[in-house]
């Protein structure tokens, strides 16, 4: 436990003790004397760490040892975000008439870097003679707000 935490706990304990003592003290002259003693002790507890702080100085510098990024968690959340975006894109494509398409998303931090669409099984629209890959690319590029060249459709 750091010295600052120990000092805080000491102050908290002193406050609890003073409150309990205040409730138990009888009314009269003794009460005033005991209150003065408790106030003096409280001031001493508050002032005790000051000479040490003044001598050593205040150091609020956070080094790499105290603050670290959890890269595994960041990678995990980025992966999950990509999976959620891919499922949402599949729903969007199904609503646009292209069902049976598996979408995978490659993330670059918080942005979508590239998208690939694998046509697993899809029904052909009545007015089309084949599945329109360029239309799928266009829909996905618009959905993710990326260039059409970053979208690949195959299958």
Q: Between 71-95 and 133-144, two packed helices, what is the crossing angle to 10 degrees? A: 130
Summarised one tens digit per residue, pLDDT across range 6-26 is 778 888 888 898 888 888 888
Residues 25, 134: Cα–Cα separation, whole Å: 86
Nearest to 103 by CA among 67, 52, 146: 146
Helices (H), the chain: 3-24, 29-47, 50-56, 71-95, 133-144
Summarised one tens digit per residue, pLDDT across range 42-74 is 888 888 877 776 777 665 555 656 566 778 888
Q: Which residue has the higher pLDDT, 140 or 30?
A: 140
């Amino acid at each position: 436990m750091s010295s600052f935490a120990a000092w805080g706990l000491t102050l908290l304990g002193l406050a609890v003790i003073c409150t309990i003592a205040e409730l138990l003290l009888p009314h009269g002259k003794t009460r005033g004397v005991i209150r003065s003693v408790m106030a003096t002790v409280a001031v001493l507890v508050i002032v005790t760490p000051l000479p040490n702080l003044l001598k050593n100085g205040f150091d609020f510098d956070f080094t790499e040892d105290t603050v670290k990024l959890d890269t595994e968690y960041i990678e995990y959340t980025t992966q999950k975000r990509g999976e959620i975006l891919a499922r949402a894109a599949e729903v969007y494509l199904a609503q646009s008439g292209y069902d049976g398409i598996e979408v995978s998303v490659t993330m670059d931090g918080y942005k979508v870097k590239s998208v690939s669409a694998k046509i697993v099984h899809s029904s052909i629209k009545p007015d089309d003679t084949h599945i329109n890959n360029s239309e799928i690319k266009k829909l996905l590029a618009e959905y993710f707000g990326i260039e059409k060249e970053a979208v690949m459709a195959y299958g």
